[in-house]
């Protein structure tokens, strides 16, 4: 189920909401951290976790 949020989706969202460059960088940082956390959960459910 799912995977990382695409760069295009993030860029389109930031453009639509007219985010400033520092806001865009923060958005990318947090979304990537969430992607990693979500992948960790999926891996653990699949028995591949640490």
* pLDDT at residue 44, as a whole number: 92
In a domain, 20, yes or no: yes
CA–CA distance, 38 with 15 (Å, rounded to integer): 25
In a domain, 2, yes or no: no
Map residue 34 onto helix, strand or coil: helix
In a domain, 50, yes or no: no
The tens place of each residue's pLDDT in the chain, 50 residues long, gives 578 999 999 999 999 999 999 999 999 999 999 999 999 999 998 886 55
CA–CA distance, 41 with 38 (Å, rounded to integer): 5
Is residue 27 exposed (0-12), middle (13-18) or buried (19+ Cβ within 10 Å)?
A: middle
Domain count, the chain: 1
In a domain, 36, yes or no: yes
pTM: 0.79
In a domain, 28, yes or no: yes
* pLDDT at residue 1, as a whole number: 58
Q: Which domain holds residue 15?
A: 7-45
In a domain, 1, yes or no: no
């Amino acid at each position: 189920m799912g995977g990382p949020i695409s760069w295009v989706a993030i860029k389109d969202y930031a453009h639509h909401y007219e985010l400033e460059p520092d806001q865009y960088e923060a958005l990318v940082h947090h979304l990537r951290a969430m992607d990693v956390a979500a992948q960790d959960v999926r891996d653990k459910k699949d028995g591949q976790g640490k």
